[in-house]
Amino acid sequence: MAYAAYKEFVAAGTAARGPLFQVLDVTVPLADAHAVRRALLACDGADILRCEPLPRPGAACASAAPRARLTLHLADGCFEAVAHRVLACTPDGEFGRLVSWRDHLRQRGLPCGF
């Protein structure tokens, strides 16, 4: 069963200068996704935009276990705290590219709203 959760953000006081938020994709084993999500809930400046299971059908090796991609909305300067919490929860994960909120929206064909 797949699920996804979305959250909209309006950064107070940032309309004139643009948002200071960034978006990061983190991929972790599906078995560890719940622990990672709980750890990130306690991290100031980080919100989970989406959690998407990524099954790997037909894989033949142990590292091919199902994984989950978490799309995170980060306040400026909280990457280190997020990375620390993710690494504390799981020994196996992948950090994706860190992009600005505007670039994230632009990649999905959405207006930036500012």
Written as one string, the DSSP assignment of 78-95 is -HHHHHHHHHHH-SS-EE
User: Which stretches does DSSP call E strand in 33-89?
Assistant: 46-54, 67-75
Q: For the chain, which domains are there?
A: 21-56+64-107 (3.30.70.260)
Structure pTM? 0.69
Cα separation values, 51 from 13, 17, 19, 60, Å: 28, 30, 23, 25
Average pLDDT over the chain, rounded to an integer: 76
- pLDDT tens digits, residue range 28-77? 988 899 999 999 998 888 999 889 988 776 554 556 678 899 999 898 77
